[in-house]
Amino acid sequence: MKIANEIRDFQNMINGKLIQSSSGRQIESINPSTGKVWATIPNSTVEDAESAVRAARRAFKGWSTLPAMERANYLRKIGDLIVQHGKELSELETRDNGWVIRETSYGLIPSLASYWYDAAGATAVGSKGDTVQLGSSSVGYTLREPYGVVVGILPWNSPLFTFTVKAAYALAAGNTVIIKPSELASVASLRYGELINEVLPPGTLNVVSGDGVEVGNTLVSHPNVNRVSLTGSGTTARAIAQSTAKNPKPMTFELGGKSANIVFEDADLEKAAQGVTLNGIFTGNAGQLCVGGSRILIQRSIIDEMVTKMKEVITEYIQLGDPMHPESAMGPIANAIQYEKVCSYIELGKKEGREIIIGGRHGGKDLLPDMPHLAEGYWIEPTLIRVDRNTLRICQEEIFGPVATVIPFDTEDEAIAMANDTEFGLGAGVWTTNLNRAHRMIRKLESGNVWVNTYRTVGPELPFGGQKSSGYGVDSIMEFTREKTCYIDIG
């Protein structure tokens, strides 16, 4: 493997200090656009994980007893700091996982700041209880209290966003936090933690990188960790559930998806063609998103017209290229393991599918011949595969890349049955101008999130969570507090 000339070294943040792994071991971070090492992160140990728990536990008393408005002031300062360091953070995220700079700069950073500001405003909400007059001489009331130490487990596809929604609301509620980023994309999270610690008291927020089995398991099973929030795979969720069996604790799981984007014959096809491609699956991070609309269901009467329009959109707008260049619209696959997985599904699609509508190629040498510095990167072009039925593996299994299937349907009932015929239930899209149909679909789709005539719009105003194998719970201030009931006899 070739190595970049300048290797940057990043460290854990524990108890307000930058600390290397106690063993001195490191993990090489690969820039997915080039396939070259560009940074190193700590390969932390059980001892490091336990140090983070101790730091968070010590900090909990002081942080949790602050008035809500004081915690809010800290969180607003973090929001301001993120804006100030937006250019640096967006570049780190892009180099770390390949998400194109035009999205990490102009979309991600403002979004992160707004979540910190929203969490600041939510501190008062998370501190309120209810009072009940139980009788002439008795009264009852409830308190909302933080859990204690919260562990957030991050994925490699969107580290900074998931870091933010977990840490901001957990801190707003009065918890202290430990973040465990994926060892496949930890750089931006380590720097993010360093910046946030310029504002927070030591130990309030800690970031520890390393192997999921050694570090992650130690954190989630630790008796002094009180809540776990994971964004990741079902495999990781099952492992966490097993490791906490002897020491049960509340958990939030936001897992995978195989979302259906459903286009009816009365839809605005121009708008739908852009929505299901650019917003739905062929995104700046190459379709590596849990809510990606990887099953495009199209009413049979318009399927040929719709396919033509989708091909035109892909050809015109999806430009592969150096993710640091502002004109690049789609970046590489984030790591070698995922690259091989997606390539294998494309080969499977060639066997299972009716035809490759567009795409199917991979590899920097073939796709970007004029950019030799990207030859060893993990590049896959946008790929649409037409199929005849929803039961194929490429329609049922999460691919997590820029690959989507196009499936015909005839009736509304058939579309609903097909959309729900999956173990997942994270997202769904509906494209129609029929308002009655839109409301029927919303009610009948087995999904935590449904978009109508748009796709993948999220924000702090509304919760985001899944059903079925896509997980349960949401990262919100109420989820990060528990309710205590008190009865008083006033005589």
Residue whose pair of structure tokens reads 């101790």 in the numeric block = 54
Are 89 and 110 a contacting pair, CB within 8 Å? no
Strand partners, 172: none
Helix or strand holding residue 238 (H, E): helix 234-243
* CA angle centred on 324, ends 114 and 160, rounded to 5°: 30
Read off the amino acid at residue 356: I
Q: Which residues contact 445 (CB under 8 A, 6 or more apart)?
A: 260, 416, 419, 420, 428, 430
Q: Which residues contact 277 (CB under 8 A, 6 or more apart)?
A: 310, 313, 314, 317, 318, 382
Strand partners, 356: 385
Going by C-alpha positions, the residue among 99, 204, 216 that lies closest to residue 160 is 99
Residue whose pair of structure tokens reads 């360093």 in the numeric block = 194
Write the DSSP symbol of residue 126. Answer: G
Q: Which residues are catalytic?
A: 180, 254, 290, 398
Going by C-alpha positions, the residue among 185, 192, 190, 179 that lies closest to residue 229 is 179
